[in-house]
Amino acid sequence: MTNVAYLGLGIMGRGMAANLLKAGHTVTVWNRTPERCQPLVAQGAKQASTPAEAVADAEVVMYCLSDDRAVEDLVWGAGRLIDAVRPGQVVLDMTTVHPDTSRKEHAAYAEKGVDFLDAPVFGSKNEAANGGLWIVVGGKREVYERVLPLLQPLSETTHYMGGAAMGASMKLVGNLVVAFQLEALGEAMVLATKAGLNPHDVLGVLHVTDFKSPIFDGVGAALVRRDFDVHFALKLMLKDANLIARFAQDLNVPIPGAAAIRENIKIGVNKGWGEENASAFIKVLEEGAGVEVKG
Name the β-bridge partners of 117. Answer: 92
Residue 64 sits in the site that holds ligand NA7 (CB under 6 A): yes
Helix, strand or coil, per DSSP, at residue 263: helix
Cβ 95 vs Cβ 70: under 8 Å: yes
* Residue closest to 94 by CA, chosen among 113, 79, 74, 114: 74
Q: Using N-to-C axis directions, what is the helix angle for 256-268 and 166-194, rounded to 10°?
A: 70
Q: What is the closest distance, in whole angstroms, from the C-beta atom of residue 191 to ligand NA7 in the complex?
A: 29
| Region binding ligand NA7 by CB under 6 A among candidate stretches 32-40, 103-111, 139-147, 275-283 | 32-40
Q: Which stretch binds ligand NA7 (CB under 6 A): 3-11, 140-148, 209-217, 250-258?
A: 3-11
CB of 113: closest distance to ligand NA7 in angstroms?
A: 24
Task: Collect all residues with Cβ–Cβ distance below 8 Å to 25 and sequence separation of at least 6.
Answer: 1, 2, 3, 4, 150
Q: Does 66 bind ligand NA7 (CB under 6 A)?
A: yes
Does position 280 interact with ligand NA7 (CB under 6 A)? The reply is no
Q: Which stretch binds ligand NA7 (CB under 6 A): 68-76, 108-116, 142-150, 252-260?
A: 68-76
Q: How far is CA 238 from CA 2, 98, 259, in A?
A: 36, 13, 11
Check binding of 167 to ligand NA7 (CB under 6 A).
Answer: no
Of 169-208, binders to ligand NA7 (CB under 6 A) are none
Q: Which of 5, 6, 8, 92 binds ligand NA7 (CB under 6 A)?
A: 8
Q: CA 168, CA 173: separation in Å to the nearest integer?
A: 9
101 binds ligand NA7 (CB under 6 A): no
Residue numbers at the binding site for ligand NA7 (CB under 6 A): 8-13, 31-33, 36, 64-67, 70, 73-74, 95-96, 232, 236, 240
